[in-house]
Structure 1
Amino acid sequence: MDTVNQPHLQANTPAEKRAFSYSATIKKLFDEVLDSKMPADRIVANYFREHKKHGSKDRRVIRETLFGLFRWWGWLKQLGSQHEQQTWYQMLSACALLEQHQWRPFANGWQHFGDFTAEQNEYANKVIEAAELPSSSPLSVTQKNALICQLFNSIEFQESQLLPDWFWDVCPIDNEANKIQLIEAMSSRPPIWARAQSIKTETAVAQLQAVSIDAQASDYFADALSLGSKSINLNEVTLYKQGNLEIQDLASQVIGNTCQPKANEQWWDTCSGAGGKTLQLRSLMLQNAASDTNVTGSITASDIRSKALEELKKRARRANFDNITVARWKSDDLPVTKEHFDGVLVDAPCSCTGTWRRNPDMRWIDDRSCVDNKPALQLDILTRSSKAVKSGGRLVYATCSLSTLENEQVVQQFLQQNTDFKLVMSEHPFTKKQHQHVTVWPYEANSDGMYVARMIKKN
């Protein structure tokens, strides 16, 4: 939406002029995401790379408003077409209220351009005033539902609309309380989780806090760190540059801790990507070694993307980790030796529904096919990879999907076709309960969603 096509709107104050400018930029990016179906974070990164004029505050307003629009798009899209000028400004204003954004002068400008009724303006202002009270706390998703129902009282809004209809078909949740908890988590900003590498966790926390990073040790894993939810420029963090800090979501860390690699074992990470879990496996090997024991174990990392493997090698060098090699998948044939590994991790390509909290745009870019077209590929990768497990070795299957179609059903089909493997129990790290299939829900420990199952090859 170019400002030259909005002749009847008058921006009279500096704040309204900036609100006007922000609106045009956000609209351009929002439409580009929906039209191209490319991830919003990539489109935003490309935009800021090409437009150096934006300062840190500009970037924050643009980026957080864009992601907020997608977070609440299940409600906002019911207001009408975003291509209608008045509707677009109403969407921006409602988003600012729902997100409880602090840049009120710009949000007030959007509210003015949205041409709200006197009643709508009065209600919106009451919400703003209440949010600014010292005793105020973040609104729950149920309270936000009441807010938008009051603001646009001719429309019926429901919490379940914040996730697409097809999601509930592939991920049915019978318990209404759990359903609301999932929606609540998916509608909130994700935290930043990390791991300490080759350094004591308390030392890492102290050094991070010394540079004003909100670091706290986790109760779940000895090396896990919460870094709050504010953006961090990692290139300015000494611990990161030295390889002593790796960003990895807490749910993702569950996978390495389920693998439990020993110091003398040989492991294969079959779908390593840029190597987050490869590095975690190596870090755990080092932690599990006695102080006077040489770590003789090794990890082989594979992927079909050469660039991802190059990034993995770069990260391994930064961490000063040895005994990590790469073996790229170049065909359907195994890139490694059969029946060679004590452990094989298959972190399979998936729909990524468990990461929608981090990427709210993906829930509206994708459709049900993103789930339906994955199980056949997942089963194929799992079956091929299993050939590398030695007798008595472990096979770990994981996804960042919340759908049983990509998780339990894939594992059960694999076991039916490969009777030399058996499913074993694993402890859910957050509930401490034993399960054959562990699903980590985003609301259990303020993380992404994840699935993991552990199998043993019979002797």
Structure 2
Amino acid sequence: MRLPPALIGHTEEVLREILRFTGPADNTLSRYFRDHPRLGSRERGVIAEAVYGLLRNKLVYTSFAESGQGPSMRRLALLGLADAAGIEALGGLSPEESDWLNRVMQIDRDMLPAALRANLPAWLYERLLERFGEEEAQKLAQTLNTPAPLDLRVNSIKADREQVIAALAEAPILAEPTPYAPLALRVRKKPALQNLPLFKSGAIEVQDEGSQILAQILGARRGEMVVDFCAGAGGKTLALGALMRNTGRLYAFDISEKRLAKLKPRLARSGLSNVHPVVIAHENDAKVKRLAGKIDRVLVDAPCSGLGTLRRNPDVKWRLKPESITELNTKQLSILEGAARLVKAGGRLVYATCSIMEEENESIVRKFLETNTSFQLVPMQQVLDEQKIPLQMGDFLKLVPHLHQTDGFFAAVLERNK
């Protein structure tokens, strides 16, 4: 079925705004779709896919766009739409545009220069080369430029994994257990889940397997006092509450009331009553200080560059500047030190990010340990063995998309010894 010619104009218009990189692409798309309610669900889906495909492959597409005639933004829109829906589905093409598209879509991208194929800003590609070497950096870049799979977490308070697989199959939605997290499922394609009874009842939540592993390594137990220090919309909070079997006390701290508001409907569905959302002003808030030395386990999923999530948020790589990471480093260390005050003797603190950059990860942990001698690093392999997670790691958890099929995550487990 051919797409209406007007779709090219819509894609061009929203792309022009997104490529200014003044805010997250998903927010811009959502606002555009709200402002154009006559666009159908198929049309919205194709536009979104075209935009995200272009953001992932921006360097290659820009070089292709330079080879054609007419306005470059229209050519970029055509390349995104051709990749998303196929050239034959596009209505409103001139014969010249059809010829040009057919020509460029047949170019063997494997023959392009490595730096172009990586589709990353030059500064970021150079850092990946330093850290991983050329072969590994290319594999990582190629994986980051593909869409992420859809992972679910089974809410063990309401169902088990086999029950959910069977219920999804009736939908019919094919879901398979993932290799590492014990309650994770990977779904084929991207079905709409919001109207499923499983989703409405809180038996499933959308959550990347890597994020589920972070919750797991905290090791939260029944009856404990636990804090999710940067809870956001609460995906890990809900996973922790279920691991605690709805006992004990679980605080969800965040500086954003708006983010915590998104937790409320999810919390209502989940069946958990042990979660207490708390808005804090900063890491040294009086609400934090009141709990100093009383908490068994603290999870710090620190604000970070988000470079491990480029499959979901490809615009991040173009919006981020190297100096932004330096600014984040100061904040990351400050948050870690603020959260550490909560931990009681014998308690554990997990520092985590969804970044693949050493300066946001190992460097922060090492700086923290230099000045906080009451904490020691617990080797990650020991923690993974305790939790029966079949991963091989050294001192730290380092999940990378091309090896583990998760988002990019880092984590360190720190134990208070006095």
TM above 0.5, yes or no, is yes
Q: 1:105 to 1:227 in 2, by over 3 A?
A: same
1:347 to 301, 312, 327: 301
1:167 paired to 2:152: no
Contact 2:220–2:243 (CA<8 Å) still a contact in 1?
Answer: yes
Q: 1:334 to 1:215 in 2, by over 3 A?
A: farther
Of 175, 182, 188, the residue aligned with 1:215 is 175
Please give the secondary structure, in 1, of the residue aligned with 2:350: strand
Runs of 5+ in structure 1 lacking a partner? 1-13, 128-142, 150-155, 287-294
Q: Aligned partner of 1:385: which letter? A: A
- Residue 370 in structure 1 maps to residue 324 in structure 2: yes
Residue 145 (structure 1) aligns with: 110
TM-aligned CA distance change 1:334 to 1:424, over 3 Å: farther
Secondary structure at the aligned position of 2:358 is classed as coil
Count of residue pairs brought into register by the alignment: 407
Match in the other structure for 1:312: 263
Residue number in structure 2 paired with 1:302: 253
- Structure 2, unaligned stretches of length 5 or more? none
Aligned to 1:291: none
Q: State which of 151, 154, 159 in structure 2 corresponds to 1:193.
A: 151
Cross-structure match for 1:255: 214
> Does structure 1 residue 322 correspond to structure 2 residue 297?
no
3-state SS, counterpart of residue 85 of structure 1? coil
Q: Out of 398-407 and 49-58, give the one that drifted further.
A: 49-58
Question: 2:164 aligned with 1:204, yes or no?
Answer: yes
Q: Which has the larger radius of gyration?
A: 1
Distance in 2 of aligned mates of 1:162 and 1:334: 45
Aligned to 2:87: 104
Give the direction of change, closer, same or farther, for the CA distance of 1:311–1:90 in structure 2 (3 Å limit): closer
Offset of residue 404 of structure 1: 0.5
Match of 2:405 in 1: 446
Assess, with a 3 A threshold, how the Cα gap between structure 1 residues 430 and 182 changes in structure 2: closer, same or farther.
Answer: farther
What's 1:182 paired with?
140
CA distance in 1, matches of 2:94, 2:139: 30
Q: Give, as a single letter, the amino acid of the residue that structure 1 aligns with 2:199.
A: Y
Q: Measure the CA separation in 1 of the matches of 2:76 and 2:390.
A: 39
Question: Cα RMSD between the aligned structures?
Answer: 2.6
Give the aligned residue type for 1:145.
D
- Please give the alpha-carbon distance, in whole angstroms, between the structure 2 residues aligned to 1:47 and 1:83: 28
- 1:16-52 Cα offsets, whole Å, 9 max, x none, are 8x24x22211111111112252111111111112222
Q: 1:89, 1:32 → 2: CA distance?
A: 13
TM-aligned CA deviation for residue 96 of structure 1: 5.2
CA contact (8 A) 1:442 1:448 kept: yes
Q: Deviations over 1:356-378 (max 9, x none)?
A: 11111221122222312101000
Find out whether 1:277 has 2:241 as its counterpart: no
Structure 1 counterpart SS, 2:19 = helix
**Does structure 1 residue 385 correspond to structure 2 residue 335?**
no
TM-score normalized by structure 2?
0.89
Cα drift, residue 353 of structure 1? 0.5
Per-residue CA deviations over 1:108-147 (Å, capped at 9, x if unaligned) read 8658453756xx84675x68xxxxxxxxxxxxxxx5333x
Contact 2:152–2:206 at 8 Å: present in 1 too? yes
Q: CA deviation at 1:227?
A: 1.5
Is residue 47–residue 81 contact of structure 2 (8 Å, CA) maintained in 1?
no
When normalised by structure 1's length, the TM-score is 0.82
CA separation of 1:262 and 1:338: change in aligned 2, threshold 3 A: same
Q: Output the CA distance in 2 between the equivalents of 1:96 and 1:225.
A: 30
Aligned counterparts, 1:15-54, within 5 A: 15=2, 18-19=4-5, 21-35=6-20, 37-54=22-39
Q: 2:408 is matched by which residue type in structure 1?
A: G
Query: What SS is found at the alignment partner of 1:239?
Result: helix
